[in-house]
Amino acid sequence: MDRNRMKHYCSVLFLLCAIFISSVIGSKYQTRVQRGQLLKHATQKYGLRSFFQHQHVADFRDYAYFGNITLGTPIAPAPEQTFLVVLDTGSSNVWVPDNTCGLHDRRSACQRKNKFFATDSSSYEKDGRPFSISYGTGSASGVFGKDTLCFSDTTLCIKSQIFGQASTIAPFFANQEIDGILGLGFTDLAVNDAPPPFVNAVNQGLVDQPIFTVYLEHHGMKRAANGGYFTYGGEDPDHCGEIITWIPLTRASYWQFRMQAVGVDSVHENTAGWEVISDTGTSFIGGPGKVIEKIAEKYGAEYDEFNESYFIPCSKVKSLPSLKLQINDIQLEIDPINLVAYPDSKECDLTLFGIYGGGFGPSWILGDPFIRQFCNIHDIENKRLGLAHSKQQDDI
């Protein structure tokens, strides 16, 4: 793949993930999905608890991870309404395109999306409040509604979940095969204080513990239908080691905490201390521009102005040093295999980007490379984040 085609890599992530969506719900998982659907309907009907369960996510070359949700209770003969979403710990609202989105506009970004039809759901409740959510790449707006939301692969179904029925979405989303976004942050971050799904699951007593765990895999140039798991209601000992540390949050809106230092040869190379967030919805690690420049120089990376990213020869990846972080008075290391992504077999993206300019908010975003190295255990009740080593073997 020509590096010029990697311009604005975040756009490419969403677009190309569609290539393997069919395999995510394909024959390999058919029996399990059918069994899960029966359990899900039993859970909804009889009010059973879900305890903890795994939801698999798909991985596109370590650039992005996606999962499916369903909304509503189908009125026969209408099918189940399924949506491909970013499971995003860096935001707190849920939205999908409404059937009114782009209804009279052939150029609308909604044209190729799965859309929600309220009239096809027997459990739909009208809310009617307007919403508008802005992201770095665009926005979505419409009205809020309420309905039953289920995480695919599981029996975890949240009744009366407030979600956005988007009537307008930014042009950025036009060629992105995702339908919407599901936020897993705290209510304080949500537009109109709409409680996020997992917060509602805890409040409705649907999970054994107020915890969800994220495990993400690395697959290099491979596309993986099974690229990780989100575990709702507990830890994930199948894929994660023992918890190394519990980090107290400095603010419970994002999953925000303090990072004391960072470096390559030594963790003490940069010791200013910063507010940081862990974010499954960000593909790379972002930090203060000058610090990132110094780190990239240590790795011998070149900066591609057209693609706005750093790159290194893929042949050098295994010989790179780890990235060292000091968090909660513990030194943590991100292995080089988790610090790169593969647009092609020759030049690899060093998964770092600079954040320039002042302002409020966190100075660092610890995105997917951080989470591939360390399972993130999100404790809603105690407002803390646990870290555990991933059990995935370095097999690429």
Give the residue numbers annotated as catalytic, written as ranges: 88, 279
Three-state DSSP class for 249?
coil
DSSP string, 345-389: SSEEEE-EEEE-S--SS-SEEE-HHHHHHEEEEEETTTTEEEEEE
What phi and psi, each to the nearest 5 degrees, are found at residue 131? Answer: -140, 155
d(CA 391, CA 374): 9
Q: How many helices (H) and strands (E) does the chain have?
A: 6, 27
As given in the structure block, the two tokens for residue 27 are: 């024959």
Full 3-state SS string of 93-132 = CEEEEECCCCCCCCCCCCCCCCCECHHHECCCEEEEEEEE
Full 3-state SS string of 267-304 = HHHECCCEEEEECCCCCCEEEEHHHHHHHHHHCCCEEE
DSSP 74: B
Residue pointed to by tokens 């972080």? 325
List strands edge to edge, sheet with 347-350. Answer: 302-304, 309-313, 347-350, 340-341
As given in the structure block, the two tokens for residue 342 are: 């593969």
Number of alpha carbons in the 13 Å side-chain half-sphere of residue 324: 15
* Pairing state between β 211-216 and 374-379: antiparallel
As given in the structure block, the two tokens for residue 357 are: 């300019």
Three-state DSSP class for 186?
coil
Listed residue (188, 238, 227) closest to 57, CA to CA: 227
Residue pointed to by tokens 């994002």? 254
